[in-house]
Structures are given as structure tokens and as C-alpha cells.
Amino acid sequence: MPPNRSLPPSLDSYGTGATTPLPLPSSSTENSSNNKRSLEQVQTEKRRKTSSAKHSVRDSSTENARFGTPLPSTLHISAPSIPLRYKSNLTPQLSALHPHCLARDRLRLWVPAGISARQTTNTTNDPTNQEMSDQQLECILDIMGSAWAQSTKETYGAGLLVFHVFCDTNCIKEDKRCPINRTLLLNFLCSCAGSYSGSALNNYAAGLRAWHLLHGRDWLIPPRELKAVLDGAAASAPAESKKAKRHPYTPDSLAAIRNQLDLTTPLDAAVFACLTTTFYSIARLGEFTVSAIRDFDPGKHVTRANVSETTDRNGLPVTKIHLPRTKCSPVEGEDAYWAAQEGPTNPKEALENHFRVNPATNAEQTHLFAWKHAKGMRPLSKRQLLKRTAAAAEAAKQPDLKGHGLRIGGTLEYLLRGVPFDVVKAMGRWSSDTFASYLREHATVLAPYIQASPALEPFTRHIMPPIRR
């Protein structure tokens, strides 16, 4: 019996309200057995169609769920916060294009003049070339913006501010600022060369390029020409703009600091555990601390649930700490490793002591180095760690040690032990040979290789980095 055509198609066999009318008997004299079989057939057909309808609805909802799903929390814009006032010598002119916001939000919220290039795609009569809605554009900016770490966006935002103040000072109109032409960019960088360090100008140029990319504007600057200007700017940078060389931490300096700490107290236990973990995993200090207590987010920062232990095929134990979000991998994160060491700076003993002194009931919601404060468990901030470490280092008559000295010191320690360069590079999660700059600053690493009779001669060809050609 064909379905009832008076019903809407959506309710015929695919809608949840689908009904199948009973077929009329072919004659009023049909026997009851035939009627019974017909009824069974109808009921079977009804169950089949109902099941088909359920599958169709489920498939449809699954298909629709592929699009327009809310972004995960790790991609959302940071919670609103009140930005600080501009400095008197870095105050841009009032403009709706440049709202007063946090530095990390300028890359996204400061928009170039004119209609967005991403929304003016339908310039032809091609019906397949659709214009984007404001909501779609916002989604694109959210996702593309998540490709940069928070600290990177803050640096880029600082560069955008300097650039727009420069343009305001020189009466550069908004529509001439983006896409930026080579003359304007080179003039901007050259005018800053005497006031900013080379690394700062490198970051500012990278920030302008990211701003163009994010808002769909062409970047028209020849790479070689830009590099030449940046190299020249670095050579012309004032001495006061260059940071003093950081002293590297060593196992001895860590032990000296340990002697000035009371590892039975919550803060000191957390600080020393963080120091040894950062040092022996060759990590960035910011990966194991928070910039501010209120900024802690279990989806972005390391927690106690991220710590695990594993062994290799020979049974050698290794502690693995998953970092949910890092500067180089803001989405998938990376893993840091260390193994137990001999002596008073053993990271395994320090971490176990920290867990005893600062127990937590919810590992997934507790920062790895959270410590017991009078107001409850408190994530370890970078500022708090550096303050406590500086006091202990001064009491131990150690040099002025900075946070990055842990990464430098851990690198040097493993290299001085004869650990192959490639292994150290993998541990530090470097994608380039940046870490090799530490070698040029510390002759002690190269000493075994440059003797008349090299102490490590049998291993030199396996350990030394490849020669650039």
C-alpha cells in the first residue's frame, strides 16, 4: 500500500511524527486470517519505518553537529579585564578602529581601515562566492588568534601600539597603514632603531605581519630587505636596551638555594620542586607557573593529573609531565621529561616532598605546584617563585639568578655531562638551533672538544651538531 500522499514529505517516512495508515481491506468478505496477516505486515512495516526515521534523525543531527559547534574553552577570548592607562609618550589618537583594550587583544580588536577583506569576497556574480557574516568573521579571528601564545600576542600588541603612535605622530592616514608599504615599514623600523633592541623590533615586525594575516590583508614586504633593516637596527640598538647575560643555574647553586629554604613549609616546598623540575626538564619557567593566580586554567596550565611515570625497555624510569599549552604548541601541548638525580637537587624527591606538604584532593583541578595558603590552595605564580628564590640566592651569596637561567643551566648541565646535542635539543623541545647560542657564551662546553687530545674524541662525531654549509 503506498504511503498517504496527503501527509507532508517530512512526516511521511523521515519525520519523528511519521504515521502509516492501515490499508483498507480489498473486500468486506476477506477472512479474519488474512486481516491478521495484513495487520502483522503493517505493524512490521511501521516498525521498519519508525526505525528508519530514528536513524535519519540521528544521522541528520550528527551531520549538523559538524558545523557551528561552539569553540572549546581553550580557543575563547580571555575574560574581560580592565586595561591599564597608556603611557604619556605612547598614547594613540582616539579611534573606533583602535579601542582601548589589553595588549594581548589588540591583534584581534584593532582592525584596519575599510571593510574587512574577508567579507568582500563576493565581488563577482559567481553565486558560489559567498560573503561572510560578522559572526563567521568573528569565528575565523578566534581560531586564527589561538595559533599564537598569550605572551606572543602581548608582545605583538605592544608593537601595534608603537606603530600606530608612530603613524599618528607622522600624520599617516588609517587607510595607508594597512596593507603597509615597504617605505612606511622601513621608515618605522629605522626611526625606532636608536631606542629599541633588535629583538624588540623583530617582534614588532612579526606582529605587524601577524596583524595583516589575521585580517586578510596582503603583506608586501620583501623578506631580504626586511632582514637587512632588522640586522642594521640590531647593530644600532642602544647598549641600555640589551639585557645583561643571564647567569645559568647549576646543581651547586640549586643546592645552595635549597639550604636557605625550609622544605617543610608549603611555599618553600613548592618553589624548590618547581626549580628542580624546570632545571632538569630544560623547560621554560612560565610553563610550570602562572602569570597571575586568577589566571589559572586547568585546560591551559599544568596540573597534578598531568604527571605520570614510565620506563624504557631496560626498565629505566622517567617522569613525564604533559604541558597542556606551550608557546610552540598552543593547542596540543608538549611533554617534558626528567629522571631522578643523585644529590640534594633530585627532582623526584623534591616533587614527592611537595606533594606531601601540599596535598590535593582533586588532581585535575589543582596546579602542579599549588601550595597551601591561609585562604586555600594557591597556584604558584612566577612572581612569587622569583621573589622567594631571589631572597634565598642572596642569603646563599649566589649571583643574581633569573628565571631563564634555569633553562640555560639545564642545557649546559646535560651538555657538560656529554649528552648528545640532538638529545638536549629534543629535551628542550627546540625546533631550531637556537639553543646552540648557549655554546658560544660558555667556553666550558666546548673545552673537551678543542683540546690537543680531545677528552671526548671517540664520541665527537656523534655529539657535535652538524656543520652549516
Q: Calculate what percentage of the chain has a pLDDT beyond 70.
A: 67
Which pLDDT does position 144 carry in this prediction? 58
* Mean pLDDT value across residues 105-112: 90
* Mean pLDDT value across residues 365-388: 95
Q: Specify whether 324 is located in the same domain as 223.
A: no
The reply to whether 196 falls in a domain is yes
Q: Specify whether 213 is located in the same domain as 178.
A: yes
Q: Is the pLDDT reported for residue 469 higher than 60?
A: no
Q: What is the CATH number of the domain that holds 260?
A: 1.10.443.10
* Mean pLDDT value across residues 189-211: 88
Name the band, by pLDDT with cuts 50, 70 and 90, for residue 422.
confident
Lowest mean pLDDT among 208-222, 268-282, 375-389: 208-222
Which pLDDT does position 387 carry in this prediction? 95
* Mean pLDDT value across residues 206-224: 89
The reply to whether 82 falls in a domain is no
Q: Specify whether 321 is located in the same domain as 407.
A: yes
Which pLDDT does position 317 carry in this prediction? 93
Name the band, by pLDDT with cuts 50, 70 and 90, for residue 131.
low
The reply to whether 155 falls in a domain is yes
Lowest mean pLDDT among 342-351, 364-373, 445-454: 445-454
Q: Specify whether 276 is located in the same domain as 189.
A: no
**438 vs 319, which has greater pLDDT?**
319
pLDDT tens for residues 297-347? 998 999 999 999 998 888 899 999 999 988 778 778 899 999 999 999 999
The reply to whether 288 falls in a domain is yes
The reply to whether 428 falls in a domain is no
**Range(s) of the domain holding residue 218:** 103-116+132-241
Q: Specify whether 405 is located in the same domain as 261.
A: yes
Mean pLDDT of the chain: 78
Q: Specify whether 277 is located in the same domain as 361.
A: yes
The reply to whether 97 falls in a domain is no
Q: Which of 213, 241, 269 is the last residue of a domain?
A: 241
Q: Specify whether 215 is located in the same domain as 282.
A: no
**274 vs 116, which has greater pLDDT?**
274
Q: What is the count of structural domains for the chain? A: 3
Q: Specify whether 301 is located in the same domain as 407.
A: yes
pLDDT tens for residues 16-56? 333 333 333 333 333 444 444 444 554 555 555 544 444 44
Which pLDDT does position 199 carry in this prediction? 85
Secondary structure, 3-state, the chain? CCCCCCCCHHHCCCCCCCCCCCCCCCCCCCCHHHHHHHHHHHHHHHHHHHHHHHHHHHHHHHHHCCCCCCCCHHHCCCCCCCCCCCCCCCCCCCCCCCCCCCHHHHHHHCCCCCCCCCCCCCCCCCCCCCCCCHHHHHHHHHHHHCCCCHHHHHHHHHHHHHHHHHHHHCCCCHHHCCCCCHHHHHHHHHHHCCCCCHHHHHHHHHHHHHHHHHCCCCCCCCHHHHHHHHHHHHHCCCHHHCCCCCCCCCHHHHHHHHCCCCCCCHHHHHHHHHHHHHHHCCCCHHHCCECCHHHCCCCCCCEHHHEEEEECCCCCEEEEEEECCCCCCCCCCEEEEECCCCCCCCHHHHHHHHHHHCCCCCHHHCECCCEEECCEEECCEHHHHHHHHHHHHHHCCCCCCCCCHHHHHHHHHHHHCCCCHHHHHHHCCCCCCHHHHHHHHCHHHHHHHCCCCCCCHHHHHHHCCCCCC
Which pLDDT does position 237 carry in this prediction? 73
**52 vs 269, which has greater pLDDT?**
269
Q: Which of 185, 213, 241 is the last residue of a domain?
A: 241
Name the band, by pLDDT with cuts 50, 70 and 90, for residue 268.
very high
The reply to whether 322 falls in a domain is yes
Q: Specify whether 272 is located in the same domain as 306.
A: yes
Q: Specify whether 301 is located in the same domain as 400.
A: yes
Which pLDDT does position 72 carry in this prediction? 57
The reply to whether 306 falls in a domain is yes
Q: Specify whether 224 is located in the same domain as 257.
A: no
Q: Specify whether 299 is located in the same domain as 383.
A: yes
Q: Is the pLDDT reported for residue 370 higher than 50?
A: yes
Which pLDDT does position 461 carry in this prediction? 43
Predicted TM-score of the model (pTM): 0.63
Which pLDDT does position 154 carry in this prediction? 87
pLDDT tens for residues 56-100? 444 444 445 555 566 555 444 445 578 889 998 899 999 999 999
Q: Which of 27, 42, 60 is the last residue of a domain?
A: 60
Q: Is the pLDDT reported for residue 413 higher than 70?
A: yes
Which pLDDT does position 164 carry in this prediction? 95
